[in-house]
Structure 1
Amino acid sequence: MKYSFKIFSIFGIPVELHISFLVLMLLIYIIALFNLIPSVNILTAVLITLIFATVVIHELSHSYIAKRYGIKIQRIVLLPIGGISEMEEIPKEPAKELRIALAGPVSNLIIAVITFAILIIFGTFLSAILSGALYYFTVVNLLLGLFNLLPAFPMDGGRILRAFLAERMDFIKATKLAATIGKQFAIIMAVIGVFFNFLLILVAIFVYLGAEGEYRSVVVSTLLGDEKVKDIMTSDVHTLNPDNSVQETLKIMFREKHMGYPITEDGKLIGIITFHDVSKIPENNRDMLIKEIMSTEMIISDPNENLVETIGKLNRNNIGRLPVIENGELVGIISKTDITKILDKKEPKLD
C-alpha cells in the first residue's frame, strides 16, 4: 500500500502506519494538548491509541493463525478505519478460513473479558478516572469484536459466512453470495452513518469496494489459474510501420476502432503507439512519423505466461493490451477485453 511506513515487526510480520493514520493521531493529540475540544483530553487520546493497539492485536491474531497454515503475511497496515492484514493468499479450505477469520474478533472479546475482570476485581482500589478508562476500553473491545462478526464481506463476519457457504456450494458461488450480502450491509451502514456517525460511511465504502474487489480477485485466481496467454491471445495482429504518419495512423484507428497498435520493422517489435499518443499532436503537425512519438519502453507478455500474471501487468501499468513476444518476434496481442470475455464465459451464476 502506498504512503505507509514500517514501525516494527512481530512474528516476522512488518507492521506499518499509513500516512492518513499518522495525520489522524497527530490531530487527536494536538486537539487534546491545546484543549481545542473540551471532551477530548490527553486520557482520551491515550485511550484511542490503546484502541488502535488492540487493532494491531486483532490483525496479528489473524496473521498468527494464517502463518500456522503456511500462508505468508506480507504486512499489516494501520488505517484510520482499522487494520488490514495483507496475506499472500486466502485459503480455499472453509475450515482454515473460518479459524483465521474468527481469530481477530475473538482476540477483542478476550481483551474485553480480561479488562472487565480487572474492573470487577480491583475496581474499588482504582481511581474514578482509571475505572472509567477501563470501562470504556472494555466496551470498545466488546463492540469491535461484535462489529467484526457482522456478515459484511470482506469483514471477518463475512469471511465466516463465506466459509459456512463454501461447505455447501462452489467456492466462487459462496464468495459471490457473501460479497452480495456484504454490499447490502454496506448500503445499510452508509444510511445509518448519514444520521449517526460519518466514520460508518467510510467503513461502508471500504466494505462495498472490498467485497467487489475480493470477489473479482477470487474469480480471476480460481478460473484463470491454469489458463495461458496463448490460449486466448489474438494471433492475427495488425501492426503499423514506423514510417506511417500520425494522420494515417488516426485514420486506421478510427476505421478499425482499435486504440493501440504494435509497430514492427523487419518482423521485430520496435514500439507501441496509442490513440492517446497521436491525439496529442496538433492538426498542423500530423504529417509527423509515428516513430518519432512511439513508446519504445514496452511491457510485454509471453505465450506461456499465466493469465493471472498478465492481469497484474495490465492493472499495475494501467494499460489495455500487451504485445506477446516469442523468440524475439511478435506472435500475438492480448487485451483486457480478451480476458473479460473468457471470465464472463467461465463465471458461474447464482441460482
Structure 2
Amino acid sequence: MTSVKIFSVSGIPIELDFSFLLLMLFIYILAYLGFLSVNLAVLITLVFVTVVIHELAHSYVALRFGVKIKSILLLPIGGVSRMEEIPRIPRQEFMISIAGPLTNILMALITAVPLLFGLKGAAASFAGDFLAVNLLLAIFNLIPAFPMDGGRILRAILAARLNYIRATRIASNLGKIIAVLMAVTGLFYNFFLILIGFFIYIGAEQEYQATLISSLLEGVRVADVMTENPVTLHPHMTVKEALDVMFREKHMGYPVTEAGELRGIVTFHDISDASRDLRVEDVMTGDVVTVRDDEEVTGALEKMNRLQLGRLPVMRDGKLTGIISRTDIVRTLNLMNKKTE
C-alpha cells in the first residue's frame, strides 16, 4: 500500500500518495524553521487543493457519461483520476477533458472578483498568487500533448473527423514535437523544461501504445489468440527430462498437468539452475493464475502486466484448453496493425 484515503467526495475516494505526505511535511518543516514563508506554504497547499478540484471536475463529468471512477490520487507532480478508459465518443472525451481546465479558469475568475473591488495588502497579494496559479494550471493542461488534457481535447476534435487510432497518432506525434522543443529550450533557459519535455514525450508514446492495443484488440477473445493443446509437463518428470522437452519444443513456459488436471506451471527460469535430479513438482509454481478462453485478450494482457507474467494457462469448464503468452499477443497486434496501415 503506497497511498492513504483521506476522504470521499460524491463517492470518489481521495487518496494521498505517501511521497506526497512526505513532501507536505517537508514544506511545513521548512516554514517552521523559517526557510519558507507560511504564506507560501499555505499557497502550495492550496495549489494541491485546486488539483483535487480539477480532477473532481474530470471525474464528475465522466460519471455523467457512465465512466466508473476508482479514486483520485494526489502525487507530488499533481493529481491522477483513476477511471476506466475514457469513452471513445469524441464529444464525451472532449467534455471530460476540458472540464478540468475550465474549472481552473472559473476559480481564477472567482478569485479576481475581490481584487477588482479593491482588496488590498497581504490578502490581495495572496489572492493574486492564487489567481496566477489557476491560470498557469489551466494553460499548462491545455497544451495539445498527452498526457495533458489538451492532448485529449485535440484527439477528440480530430476523432470527430478521422479514425480514432489515426487521431491518437497525430495528437501523440504533435505531443512529441512539443516535448522535443521544450527540452531544447530547456537546454538554454531552464533545466526544468527538459524534465517536463521528457514527461510529455513518454506520456505521448504511452497513450498512443495503449490506444493502439485497446483498439486493435477490442472484441478479440483469448480463444482467438491462444495456442491450443499446449505441450505439458508431468509433475513427476525430472528437471533433466523437462529441459529436454523445453529445448526440443523451444518454448519458455509449460503447464504442468496430471490426469488431465492443471497442477502448476514451470518456466525455463524456474529450472535452469535447479538440480537435474529434482522433479518438476519441486520447482513449479503451484498457485497458477489462469484466464478463461472467452475472456477478452485485453484483460489477459492487463493481468500479465499487473502480475509480471509471461504467459497464462487458458481454461474452459475447469479444464486446460490452451496457453496464451505475450508473444502470442504481440504477434496478433503486429498482424492487425498491418491491416490498418
Q: TM-score, normalised by structure 1?
A: 0.90
Letter in 2 for 1:33: Y
Aligned AA (1:122)? G
Which moved further from structure 2: 161-170 or 220-229?
Answer: 220-229
Mapped partners of 1:300, 1:334: distance in 2 = 10
Q: Which amino acid aligns with 2:149?
A: D
**Which runs of structure 2 are paired with 1:34-113 in the superposition (5 Å)?**
34-36=33-35, 40-113=36-109
**Alignment partner, residue 23 of structure 2:** 24
| Structure 1 residue 336 displacement after superposition | 1.1
- Asked whether the 8 Å contact 1:173–1:348 carries over to 2, the reply is no
Q: Which amino acid aligns with 1:19?
A: F
- Describe how 1:1-351 pairs up with structure 2 within 5 A: 3-36=2-35, 40-123=36-119, 126-127=120-121, 129-193=122-186, 200-281=193-274, 285-347=275-337
Structure 1 residues 51 and 327, CA gap change in structure 2 (3 angstroms): closer
1:138 is paired with a residue of what secondary structure?
helix
* Matched position secondary structure for 1:347: helix
Distance 2:184 2:128 in 1: 29
- 1:348 is displaced (CA, Å) by 6.4
CA–CA separation in structure 2 for the residues paired with 1:349 and 1:76? 38
Contact 2:257 2:263 in 1 (8 A): yes
> CA separation in 2, counterparts of 1:50 and 1:306?
43
Cα distance between partner residues in 1 of 2:184 and 2:238: 55
- Are the counterparts in 2 of residues 173 and 350 from structure 1 also a CA contact under 8 Å? no
Q: Report the CA distance between 1:145 and its aligned residue.
A: 0.8
Question: 1:201 & 1:312 partners in 2: Cα distance?
Answer: 31
CA distance in 2, matches of 1:56, 1:195: 33
Kindly state the Cα deviation for residue 15 of structure 1 after the two structures are TM-superposed.
Answer: 1.1
Gaps of 5+ in 1: none
Q: In angstroms, what is the RMSD of aligned CA positions?
A: 2.1
Q: Which amino acid aligns with 1:133?
A: F
Query: Which residue identity is paired with 1:4?
Result: S
Change (3 A) 1:209 1:57: same
Give the 3-state SS of the residue equivalent to 1:122 in structure 2. Answer: coil
Structure 1's 237 and 87: CA in aligned 2 closer, same or farther, altered over 3 A?
same
> Residue 237 of structure 1: SS of its match in structure 2?
coil
* Deviating more after overlay: 320-329 vs 88-97: 320-329
Residue 47 of structure 1 and its aligned partner are, at CA, apart by: 0.6
Structure 1 position 188, deviation (Å): 3.2
- Give the 3-state SS of the residue equivalent to 2:292 in structure 1: coil
Aligned partners of 1:153 and 1:159 also within 8 Å: yes
Once residues 329 and 232 of structure 1 are traced to their aligned partners in structure 2, the CA distance between those partners, rounded to angstroms, is: 18
Q: 1: CA distance between counterparts of 2:45 and 2:14? A: 15
**How much does 1:169 deviate?**
0.7
Alignment check: 8 A CA contact 2:146 2:207 kept: no
CA distance in 2, matches of 1:80, 1:195: 26
**Counterpart amino acid of residue 295 in structure 1:** T
Give 1:205 shift.
4.1
Q: Shift in Å at residue 199 of structure 1?
A: 5.0
Distance 1:95 1:310 in 2: 30
Whole-Å Cα distance in 2 between the matches of residues 164 and 145 of structure 1?
Answer: 19
Offset at residue 194 of structure 1 (A) = 5.3
Distance 1:253 1:179 in 2: 41
Aligned length: 341
User: Deviation per CA, 1:126-171, whole angstroms, max 9, x where unpaired?
Assistant: 22x2222222211121111111110011211001110111011111
Deviation for aligned residue 1:195: 5.4
Query: Deviation of residue 270 (structure 1)?
Result: 1.4
SS in 2 for 1:84: strand
